[in-house]
Structure 1
Amino acid sequence: MDGNGKDWVTLEVTDAVGTLTLSAPDQLNAIHRPMMDQLIRRLEDLRGDETIRAMIVTGSGRGFCAGAHVGEMAALEDKGKGIYNLLDDGWNRAVRLIRSMPKPVVSAVNGIAAGGGVGLALSADMVLAARSARFIQVFGPKLGVIPDVGNTWFLPQALGRAKAMQLMLTGETLDAAEAESWGLISRCVEDDELTREAFSLAHDLSQGPINAFVEIRKAVDHGLTSGLEQALDHERDTNARLCAGPDFAEGTSAFADKRRPDFTRQSKQNDGTER
């Protein structure tokens, strides 16, 4: 809660899956400073909670996130300094927390994702979107600024330069079905199935070798900014480390025993639920 007792970002935990919900539906979950501060605290709490093995980020009401709260930005006296701080220790910090989360992250885009809201959604490892969801880059054509919150990295990496520039320069709306066909998101699902599908995916991930999932994220990001030789070395070094760990031991043992691996066993032992 903020100083006024308002929960701008709620957390619900079910079966080792933590769901963060942006909770300002009357403003399409546009994020102002108190809301951003809560989001960062929630992300930091999730980061340190080893009982939560996967997480979902979603929005309440008709929108996922309409970006930054324009009214708050317009009211800044020193806009240059204010926007710098809003990005540096606000939005960018949230993106970094999601991208470095020691567990897989799923975005469930339930409605409009605009501006920084697109970057927030794309920070996740996998993105599901309701069929009615929309993605809009409002920065250039509407506000006279460049895309931020990682959009200038996420969009070209996913779409290539031509499609990314098309969205950024025109501000046209990309619907969820197109976003899936273009490769921007993992999957488009029917509106009434989004919550169930996102939880099912996150729960499945939570039962897997989450350390390996996090290393896959790191390896993919490394591969996007390196050459083949560097990628080969990164793969070699990472797997040499992972193969000495308990998940690989469990995986190979389960393979030999012709059974399903239980990658959650170690965490159960650590929290005392299994002896």
Structure 2
Amino acid sequence: MKIEDIQDVLYEKEENGICTATLNTPERKNAMSFITFLELITILEDMEADKNARVLIITGKGDAFSSGGYFNMNLLSSTPKEIIDQIDLEDIAQKRICMKLWNFSKPVIAAINGLAVGAGFTMALAGADLIYASENAWIGFYFVKRAVMAEFAAHFLLPFYVGFQRAKEMVYFGEKLTAHEAEKLGLINKVLPPDELLPFVREQALRLIPPKGPSMSLKLMKKTMHSYFTDILSKTLDLENEGLRACLQTADFRASLKSLVTKQEPKFKGK
């Protein structure tokens, strides 16, 4: 994919070194498709090749950061074959982009401007060095409600951040957290009023860019912090892919899909 092919993400580059990727499908609350993830990979590769691109800010258009994954096969059927050929439809856990983000040499800041559900938050947790959120933002770990499991190495990252017991409680019961609750757990760096979020994030970004920030030092610190956990992250993603493929074959998953139509609570059978 080329930069000019990008449609789901608004990509902006500034002379000061700040780059912004805005998830730009507000009509679906910025839910991310396989194509969206490919676009984000293209942006990361473009920034790696550009020495003047220093910091990436990821945010969402409208009142949502992202409502999670968007797996609409009709969307793929209308996509050019040369783009589809670049997508691994078996990579449900999104290992490719997760590892791209994890190994990305430049700082990434997530500006959570609204709801962040499922992959809408786990992507930020895996890929952002710093996460800031507006006061009206919230996080939903709703995987269990769809009889599936998390992706983006959340099964390693959540226990790493909040401990095993709390992480299990969050995913077992499909919890919803306010921005302030997530901040107390250490999942978010700071919560700000909505109109102060992006200005604050930009200020933080400028602190990471010369002349204020020593970019080489930052690059080496990030690499050193991440390198020890790279193999763990990769193995977790493989296990998530294996588990997700199994979940999608279950009667419970089919019941969860039916509940979206009937608007009733799904009745799971454990198989």
Find the residue that maps to 1:88 and give its secondary structure.
Answer: coil
- Structure 1 runs (4+) greater than 3 angstroms displaced: 70-73, 84-87, 221-226
TM-score normalised per structure 1: 0.71
- CA distance in 2 between counterparts of 1:26 and 1:199 reads 26
Pick from 170, 175, 187 the counterpart of residue 172 of structure 1: 175
- CA distance in 2 between counterparts of 1:21 and 1:93 reads 20
- Residue 125 of structure 1, CA deviation: 0.5
Contact 1:129 1:185 in 2 (8 A): yes
What corresponds to 1:136 in structure 2? 140
Aligned pairs for 1:231-270 within 5 A: none
2:210 is the counterpart of 1:209: no
- Residue 85 of structure 1, CA deviation: 3.3
Letter of the aligned partner of 1:212 in structure 2? S
What corresponds to 1:69 in structure 2? 70
Contact 1:136 1:167 in 2 (8 A): no
What corresponds to 1:266 in structure 2? none
Contact 1:47 1:101 in 2 (8 A): yes
What corresponds to 2:223 in structure 1? 218
- CA distance in 2 between counterparts of 1:172 and 1:63 reads 18
- CA distance in 1 between counterparts of 2:179 and 2:23 reads 20
Larger radius of gyration: 1
What corresponds to 2:50 in structure 1? 49
TM-score normalised per structure 2: 0.72
Find the residue that maps to 1:178 and give its secondary structure.
Answer: helix
Find the residue that maps to 1:85 and give its secondary structure.
Answer: coil
Find the residue that maps to 2:149 and give its secondary structure.
Answer: coil
The share of aligned pairs that are identical, in percent, is 31
- CA distance in 2 between counterparts of 1:88 and 1:211 reads 33
What corresponds to 1:59 in structure 2? 60
Q: What is the aligned-residue RMSD (CA, Å)?
A: 2.8
- CA distance in 1 between counterparts of 2:90 and 2:189 reads 27
- Residue 5 of structure 1, CA deviation: 7.0
- CA distance in 1 between counterparts of 2:6 and 2:71 reads 20
- CA distance in 2 between counterparts of 1:169 and 1:7 reads 35
State the Cα deviation string for residues 77-128 of structure 1 (Å, max 9, x = none). Answer: xxxxxxx934638832222222212211111111111111112111210100
Which one has a larger percent helix, Structure 1 or Structure 2? 1
- CA distance in 2 between counterparts of 1:47 and 1:158 reads 28
- CA distance in 2 between counterparts of 1:221 and 1:21 reads 25
What corresponds to 1:186 in structure 2? 189
Find the residue that maps to 1:61 and give its secondary structure.
Answer: coil
Q: How many pairs does the alignment contain?
A: 217
- CA distance in 2 between counterparts of 1:23 and 1:34 reads 12
Letter of the aligned partner of 1:47 in structure 2? E
The alpha-carbon distance between structure 1 residues 33 and 70, as it changes in their structure 2 partners (threshold 3 A), is: closer
What corresponds to 1:116 in structure 2? 119
Pick from 196, 199, 222 the counterpart of residue 199 of structure 2: 196
In the alignment, structure 2 segments of 5+ residues that lack a partner are: 78-86, 232-271
